[in-house]
Structure 1
Amino acid sequence: MQNEFGAILKDWRKVRRFSQLDLSLEAEMSARHLSFLESGRSNPSREMVMRLSEALQLPRPAANQALHAAGFAPVYPSLPEDAPELAPVNQAIDSMLERHDPYPGIAVDRHWNVVKSNQGAQLLLALASTNGQANMMDVLINSAGTGILENWEEVALLSLARLRTEILELGGDEKLSALTQRLSAMERVKNADMSKINLNQAVIPTILRVGETRLSVFSTIAQFGTVQDTRAGETRIELMFPMDEDTIQFFER
């Protein structure tokens, strides 16, 4: 009879579109042993759970869940935001955002909620009337009829593709799925033509209208590579850079 670990293993194997043979080769084990683990005929060692987690590229919370299902203690910590151990991480985020001023910079969690922002980003969030609390996908959805975002359809379609990729990587996520459904259900998204987006551009900017000023920015997204905490490890820092002199002057003023 299949146990909880076997069910988790099978579900994630299907999410990653691996056959049993594919996964056994990736994890350097026999397909027979993998079959026994999925069916519950064999129990995994802690080392085997970690090896399969790595082969399946499980997110840290999912790896902890697999360990727990197999009878082992979680390996990745889940600390409160103000835990002393995370002070260097929080300092690094603050430093990146502060040094990037006057250009916008934000830190977001896995659901695109803004957890920290610099002055440049706070200016843009104020223009979007978020009152300091923001989810970047909500900001995009709510800006559809405001005229603030000149190339709204282009940004929306690219954001939708990003959301779907993230959901696939996470093996499903209810909050991201809800945001995806809201965005994809909008008429401007339904009527948008992806083929009209020039993907051959070196940079696809976000173009904003602030009064008579036209701002053009592009972004880089950074994520910590060695932070093991389940929440902090998923925090992403998005830094926006100006693409033209008008945008530079706007933020420097």
Structure 2
Amino acid sequence: MQTEFGAMLKQWRSIRRFSQLDLSLEADMSARHLSFLESGRANPSRAMVLRLSDALQLPKPAANQVLHAAGFAPVYPNLPQDAPELAPVNEAIATMLRHHDPFPGIAVDRHWNVVQSNQGAAMMLGLASPNGGANLMDILINSANLDLIENWDEVAVLSLSRLRTEILELGGDEKLSALAKRLSDLDRVKQIDVAAINFNQAVIPTIFRVGENRLSLFSTIAQFGSVQDTRAGETRIEMMFPMDDDTRRFFAQR
């Protein structure tokens, strides 16, 4: 009889589009033993669960889940944001954002909620989300019928693709799936002619309209590869850079 671990293993193998032979080779084990683990005819050791988690490139929360399903304690911590152990990580994020001023810099969680921002980003977020509680995907969705983002169609198509990629990598996520559905269900998105969008560009910026100012910004995103905490390890730091002198001057003057 298939166990909970066996069902999860098979599900993740399907998500990663591995055959049993593919995964057995990746995890350096026999396909027969893998078949036995999936069917429940054999139980895994803790080391085997970790080996399979690594071969499947499971997100840390998912690795904890399969460990639990196999009867083992989680290996990755899940600490509150203000835990003393995470103080160096929080300080590193604050330092990176502070040093990036006057240009916008933000830290977002797994679901695109803003958890930290610098002064440049606070100004932009105040214009885009004046009531606080900023979520970057919410801002994009809510600005569909506004003049805030000049190239909204381009940004929406790229953002939807990114959301779907993240959902696939995570093996599903209800909150991200809800954001993706809200975005894809917009009438404006349904009317976008994707073939007409020029993706053959070195950089596709986000172009904001702030009063009479046209602000063109592109982003780079960083994560902490060595942080083992499930929440902090998924925090992403997005630094926005000006594409032209007018944008550079706008932020420098503030």
TM-score, structure 2 normalization: 0.98
Q: Structure 2: where are the runs of 5+ without partners?
A: none
> Over the residues paired in the alignment, what is the CA RMSD in angstroms?
0.7
- Match for residue 45 of structure 2? 45
Alpha-carbon deviation of 1:131?
2.4
1:161 aligns with 2:161: yes
CA distance in 1, matches of 2:226, 2:114: 22
Q: Structure 1: where are the runs of 5+ without partners?
A: none
Q: Secondary structure at the match of 1:221?
A: strand
CA distance in 2, matches of 1:207, 1:218: 9
Q: Secondary structure at the match of 2:134?
A: coil
CA displacement, residues 225-251 of structure 1 (integer Å, 9 cap, x when unaligned): 000000000000000000000000100
Q: Secondary structure at the match of 2:43?
A: coil
Alpha-carbon deviation of 1:145?
1.3
- Match for residue 197 of structure 2? 197
On the 8 A contact 1:21/1:31 being kept in 2, the answer is yes
Q: What are the equivalent positions in structure 2 for 1:57-206 lying under 5 Å apart?
A: 57-206=57-206
Q: Which amino acid counterpart does residue 20 of structure 2 have in structure 1? A: Q
Alpha-carbon deviation of 1:199?
1.6
1:249 aligns with 2:249: yes
On the 8 A contact 1:2/1:40 being kept in 2, the answer is yes
- Match for residue 25 of structure 2? 25
On the 8 A contact 1:97/1:105 being kept in 2, the answer is yes
Alpha-carbon deviation of 1:155?
0.1
CA displacement, residues 103-154 of structure 1 (integer Å, 9 cap, x when unaligned): 0000000000000011101111111133231110000011111101000000
- Match for residue 233 of structure 2? 233
On the 8 A contact 1:130/1:139 being kept in 2, the answer is no
CA distance in 1, matches of 2:75, 2:215: 45
Q: Secondary structure at the match of 2:41?
A: coil
On the 8 A contact 1:215/1:246 being kept in 2, the answer is yes
CA distance in 1, matches of 2:100, 2:131: 22
Q: Secondary structure at the match of 1:200?
A: coil
CA distance in 2, matches of 1:107, 1:49: 32
Q: Percent identity?
A: 77
CA distance in 1, matches of 2:19, 2:49: 18
1:210 aligns with 2:210: yes
Alpha-carbon deviation of 1:194?
1.5
Q: Which amino acid counterpart does residue 84 of structure 2 have in structure 1? A: P
CA distance in 1, matches of 2:219, 2:196: 21
Q: Which amino acid counterpart does residue 194 of structure 1 have in structure 2? A: V
Moved over 4 A (4+): none
CA distance in 2, matches of 1:32, 1:144: 52
- Match for residue 10 of structure 1? 10
Between the two proteins, the alignment pairs up a number of residues equal to 253
TM-score, structure 1 normalization: 0.99
CA distance in 2, matches of 1:98, 1:185: 37
Q: Which amino acid counterpart does residue 182 of structure 1 have in structure 2? A: R
